[in-house]
Structure 1
Amino acid sequence: MQGRDDGTYPPGAFETGGRRLRVLSGHDVALVNGPVFLVGLFYAVSPWVLGFAGTHHDLAVHDLVVGCAVCLLAGGFTVAPERMTGLSGALGVTGLWMAVSPWVVGEVPGRATAVAGVVLGVLALVLGLVSTVLVRRANRVP
């Protein structure tokens, strides 16, 4: 049987495995993935649900693309959390963009457009910050 010291494993392989187990065993991190997916999903369909897709076509396309990107992040956090831990901060930045994008992309957004963008953006920002904190806590070496 081969062991640690016979050179068959790269340096740090066991530490990486331990880190992976800590991240995967942190159930708190996994609890954030569902709400992140729902925020992304509603952001993607909000132009049609709230009825501003016809009047703000550019913003509707933007919301669809960004919402799908957030859903993909949530899927990545679920499927490969050990590889996606560095992107939890990107969710917070995306949340900031979601909150200001109605005025940047849409220029003169309606009330529903602005409220949806700000509320969902703040939710994404908070979930991104929570995810970042939980990932850092899970990555700490005891």
Structure 2
Amino acid sequence: MAAPTTGSTIEHHPDLVEMRARYEKAGSTPTAQLVEGLTFLTGLYIAISPWVVGFNGSTTLTVSNLIVGLAFAVLALGFGSAYERTHLLGWTAPLLGVWVIISQWVINDAPSTAQIVVNNVIAGGVAALCGLAVMGLAAMGKRKS
């Protein structure tokens, strides 16, 4: 008889199938689908916002928004396609939203205009709220079964 492994990976969890089923159920509700869609659209907007708003002369902030927005959109696609496997990544979404908010002050390659500040604060706030909502879906999946 083989000795049980002492690793802390999820693959060895005795209730793995049950946990995945709960998270899949939580991720298939209309509320979850709305959150996933809004999260995806928020990521796309953050990615294109430098050209929508006009981040003139701020190439580093433009690249930052493009990369963070695409990462956010890809993360949202993961939530939408395989929530039961990607729910643990939910904690990264609020961090990306906070980065969008503070990046304009952290990255000092060009002066921030009022348009840039308002754009990044609103888009980052929506992104952070979407991330918190995704985390709430995971908590809801744990409680409801």
**TM-score normalised by length of structure 1:** 0.82
* Range moving further from structure 2, 129-138 or 92-101: 129-138
In structure 2, what is the equivalent of residue 70 of structure 1?
72
Q: Percent identity?
A: 34
TM-score (norm 2): 0.81
CA distance in 2, matches of 1:67, 1:12: 35
Aligned residues: CA RMSD = 1.9
Question: How many equivalent residue pairs?
Answer: 132
Alignment pair present for 1:87 and 2:103: no
| Bigger mean CA offset, 128-137 vs 63-72 | 128-137
Tell me the secondary structure at the aligned position of residue 50 of structure 1.
helix
Which letter maps to 1:111?
A: A
Preserved CA contact (<8 Å) 1:26 1:138: no
Unaligned runs of 5+ in 1: 1-9
Please give the residue correspondences for 1:1-142 in structure 2 after superposition, counting only pairs within 5 Å: 11-52=14-55, 54-106=56-108, 108-140=111-143, 142=145
Following superposition, which runs of at least 4 residues in structure 1 exceed 4 angstroms of deviation? none
What's the offset of the Cα at 1:48? 1.0
Deviation at 1:14, TM superposition (A): 4.3
Larger Rg: 1
Q: Unaligned stretches of 5+ in structure 2?
A: 1-12
How far apart in 1 are the matches of 2:54 and 2:24? 45
